[in-house]
Structure 1
Amino acid sequence: MSFTSLGLSAFLLKALDEQQYKAPYPVQEQAIPALLKGKDVLGISKTGSGKTAGYLLPILELLSKNKIEKRDRHVRVLIMVPTRELAIQVNDSFGRFSHHLPQQIKTMAVYGGVSINPQMMALHGTDILIATPGRLLDLMHSNAVHLSQVEILVLDEADKLLHLGFKEEMDKIFSFLPSKRQNVLFSATTTDDINDMQKLLLHQPVKIEIAAEEHDIDAIEQLAYHVTADRKGPFLRYLIKNEDMQQVLVFTSAVRTADNLTGKLIKNGIHAASLHGHLSQSARINTLQRFKEGKLRVLVASDLASRGIDIQELPVVINYELPRSPKDYIHRIGRTGRADASGRAISLICPEDQHHFGIIQKKMGKKVETRESDAINLHGY
C-alpha cells in the first residue's frame, strides 16, 4: 500500500515525498483512513512504529479542509503527551509536514521547566496545541488558552501519561472539553488503566493493535553478561572501548546513577552526557541534539527522559540497570533495530538481577544468550 491510497491531499503527499516516506507503516494504514472519516481511534503499537504520523497527517488534512471561525486562544486540536521531549518532537513533526498546505496551521508545544510567560504570549492564533498536563493546567488557570472549541483530542503515549501519575490532571482537563469531539488514544501497551480510559473517552472506536512481531525482536541482537556490582562500571567502559562503540544509549534506573556513571565515563576519556528530568530544558534539548548528530559518544538516560529519543539507526542500547517491568525492557531495546535496521541490546546482570531477568525473558518469549565476564581483565578501565 502507498500513501496515495489513504486519502491524503497532494500537499501532504509532497511533504511525505520530501521526508522520504516510501510506504505507510501498518498503524498508519489503519489509523489515517479511520481518522479522516471522523472515527475515534484506539491504537496499541510499540514505540517507533509510526504512531505520530498516523495521527498528525489526518489532523492536518481535516483542519486544512474544514475551516471554521474560532475565537482567539481557543485551540482546535489538543494533543497531550507525557514529556517535554515528546512535545517538542511532535511539534517538529507537524512543522515538517504542514509547510505545503494552502493555509497556515499554527502548532505549538507547551511544557514545564521553562518560563510560562513566553508561552502565554505565543499562544495567540494556535490551532494545534501539544501539551504536558501540568503546564496546560497552568495556562488554563491564567486564561491563556481555552478548550471549548476542541474538535480533536489526542492522548499520545497514554500508558506513560497514566504511569507518571497524570490521571488527576487529565480528568480536570477533560472536564473543560466539549462533549462532541473526535478522540484518539495511542499507547505502546494495553493495561487496565488504558482500558478504563478508552471506555471513558472513546465512542465506538476503530481498534488498531499492531503486535510486536517476532522478527521485530529478532532484528535486535540481544546479549547479556553476568557481572558483579563492583566490576559493572569498568566492564561498561571495557565494552565501549574494546568494541569501539561510537553511538551508545545506556539506561539507568535512577538520576543519581546516571550522573555518577557519566562522570566516570568522562574521567576515563569517553565523551558522555546524562539525560534526565533534573536538567534544565535547554540542557536536555542540547544534549539530545548532540547525541542525534553523532557528536556525543554515550548518552546515559533515565527511562522517562529517553522517550524523546528517536534515532532511526541507533546501533547499540545497553541496560546498565534493568527496568522494573518486562514491557519497559522491550521499549528500551526497541530504541535500536528500528525501520528494519539491525541493532544490538546488551544487558549487565548482577547476581541479584538474575531472577528478574529470567522473568523478562519469559514474558518476552525469547532466551537471551548470557556470557560470563569474570575472566576479562578490567585493569585500566
Structure 2
Amino acid sequence: MNFADLGLGPALLSAIERAKYESPYPIQVEAIPAILQGKDMLGLAPTGSGKTAAYILPILQQLLQKEAPRDRSVPVLVLVPTRELAVQVAEVAENFGRFLPRRIKSLAIFGGVSINPQMMKLGGTEILIATPGRLIDLMGRNSVSISRIQTLVIDEADKMLQMGFKEEMDHLFEYIPRKKQTLLFSATMEGEVEELIKKLLQNPVRVQVAADDFTPDSITQSAYRVSPEAKGPFLRQVIQSGDWKQILVFASSIRTADNIVGKLIKNGIDAVAFHGDKSQGARTEALARFKSGKTRVLVATDLAARGIDIQALPLVINYELPRSPKDYIHRIGRTGRAGMQGQAISLITPEEQHHFKVIQKKMGKWVTLVNAEDFGKPLEPKT
C-alpha cells in the first residue's frame, strides 16, 4: 500500500514525496480515505503511530478545494492538551503545506507566552491548533471565531480529560456548530472519553492501533542491571560510547532531571532539562536546540515529553522506568520513527527488575537484562 492508493490528489502526493514520507502507517491507510469522505472518525492510537499525518493530510486536501477565510473565523480546529503537541501538529501541517500550490496557514496557540503576538498572527488561519484555555482567552477578546468550524479534531482526548480540561472543552463546544466533521483521537476509551465520543461523534469510522501492541520493529531494545549509585557514571559511559548526535533521556521527576543535567554538564556533556518547571520560552528554546543538534542530550520528564516528535532521533535512554507500560511504549516510540532505525536503552536497578518484567509482559516483548559491567561486549549465544 502507498499514499497514491488512499485517494489523495496530485498536489498532496507531491508534497508527501518532497517531505520524504515513503509509505503510510496502518492508521493512515485506514483513516485518510474515511476523512476524505467526510466521515466522523474515532482513532484509538498511541503517540508515534502516525496519527498526526493521518488527519493533517486529508484536511489539507479538503482545504485546497476551498478559498482561505478573509476574516477571523477558522475552518479547522485541532484541540490538544499540551503546548508541545500544539507545536508538533503545526510543524507537520507546515511540513506538508509548504509544498502545496497555495499556502494553507496553520497556527499553534497556547498559554504560558504573551497573547498579543498570537492575536496578531490569527488572520487568515485555516488550521488552528490550540490548547483550550488559550483559545477561550482569544475568543473572549474577539480575536478568533469558531462558529463556522467545518472540521474539529480532538487529539489525545484522554490526556485532555486527565489534565482537567473537561470544563473548558464543554464551554468551547457551545460555540462550535453541530454540523461538522469530528475526528477524535485517544489512546484509550476509558471513563469520560467514552462520554465524549457519544456526545460528539455521529456514526464514526473506528480505526485502532493497540497501544499495548505498538512496539516498532525498527527499535532495538536493551537493558542493563546497575546499582542506584552507579547509574550516573553508567549513563555517562553509554552517552560517550557512541557518536549519537541526539540522545533523549527520560527521568521520573523534575529534581532527577535537573540533577542528571548538572552531572552531565560537569563532565563535559552538553545537556539541557525539559520539564514542567521550565518557562514556556525555556522549553521552546531547549527543544529547538535539541532538534537542530546544537544540544546533544535532552533530559525530559514524561508529561513534558508529550509532543516531542523528532523524525530521526537515534537513541532513547530510560534512566528510570515510568510507572506504566503505556508510558514506556510512549517513551521508546520517540525513536525508530518514519521507517528509520532506533535504539532504546533502559537502566534497571535491582528494585526495578520486577516492574521491568511487568512492562515486558504487557508489551509482549522480552528484553535481555545484561550486567552494566558487560556493556559493549557481545552477548553470549543462548544454548
Q: TM-score by structure 2 length?
A: 0.90
Unaligned runs of 5+ in 1: 377-381
Q: Which amino acid aligns with 1:178?
A: P
Classify the secondary structure of the residue corresponding to 2:38: coil
Change in CA separation of 1:314 and 1:106 when aligned onto 2, cut-off 3 Å: closer
1:185-231 deviation digits (Å, cap 9, x = unpaired): 12344434433322221111111112469794443222222333222
Q: Which amino acid aligns with 2:248?
A: L
Q: Which amino acid aligns with 1:36?
A: L
Change in CA separation of 1:14 and 1:172 when aligned onto 2, cut-off 3 Å: same
Contact kept in structure 1, 2:214 and 2:329, CA below 8 Å? no
Classify the secondary structure of the residue corresponding to 2:178: coil
**Alignment pair present for 1:52 and 2:70:** no
- Write the mapping of 1:230-309 to structure 2, written as runs, cut at 5 A: 230-243=229-242, 245-309=244-308
Q: 1:37 Cα deviation (Å)?
A: 1.0
**Alignment pair present for 1:26 and 2:30:** no
Q: Matched residues in 1 for 2:211 and 2:200: separation? A: 26
Q: 1:109 Cα deviation (Å)?
A: 1.0
Percent identity over the alignment is 59
- Report the more deviating stretch, 11-20 or 207-216: 207-216
- Write the mapping of 1:58-137 to structure 2, written as runs, cut at 5 A: 58-67=58-67, 72-137=71-136
Contact kept in structure 1, 2:48 and 2:330, CA below 8 Å? no
Classify the secondary structure of the residue corresponding to 1:153: strand
- Report the more deviating stretch, 214-223 or 255-264: 214-223
Change in CA separation of 1:356 and 1:297 when aligned onto 2, cut-off 3 Å: same
1:247-269 deviation digits (Å, cap 9, x = unpaired): 21100122222111101110011
Counterpart residue number, 1:156: 155
Change in CA separation of 1:370 and 1:257 when aligned onto 2, cut-off 3 Å: same
- Report the more deviating stretch, 305-314 or 10-19: 305-314
Q: 1:105 Cα deviation (Å)?
A: 3.0
Unaligned runs of 5+ in 2: 376-383
Counterpart residue number, 2:222: 223
Q: Which amino acid aligns with 1:65?
A: Q
Q: Matched residues in 2 for 1:211 and 1:375: separation? A: 35
Q: 1:131 Cα deviation (Å)?
A: 0.4
Counterpart residue number, 1:311: 310
| Count of aligned residue pairs for this structure pair | 375
Q: Matched residues in 2 for 1:353 and 1:104: separation? A: 51
Q: Which amino acid aligns with 1:122?
A: K
- Report the more deviating stretch, 56-65 or 155-164: 155-164
Classify the secondary structure of the residue corresponding to 2:13: helix
Change in CA separation of 1:364 and 1:139 when aligned onto 2, cut-off 3 Å: same
Contact kept in structure 1, 2:15 and 2:100, CA below 8 Å? no
Q: Matched residues in 1 for 2:88 and 2:329: separation? A: 21
1:130-169 deviation digits (Å, cap 9, x = unpaired): 0011211211222222211111110122232223222222
Q: Which amino acid aligns with 1:161?
A: M
Classify the secondary structure of the residue corresponding to 2:194: helix
- Report the more deviating stretch, 276-285 or 167-176: 276-285
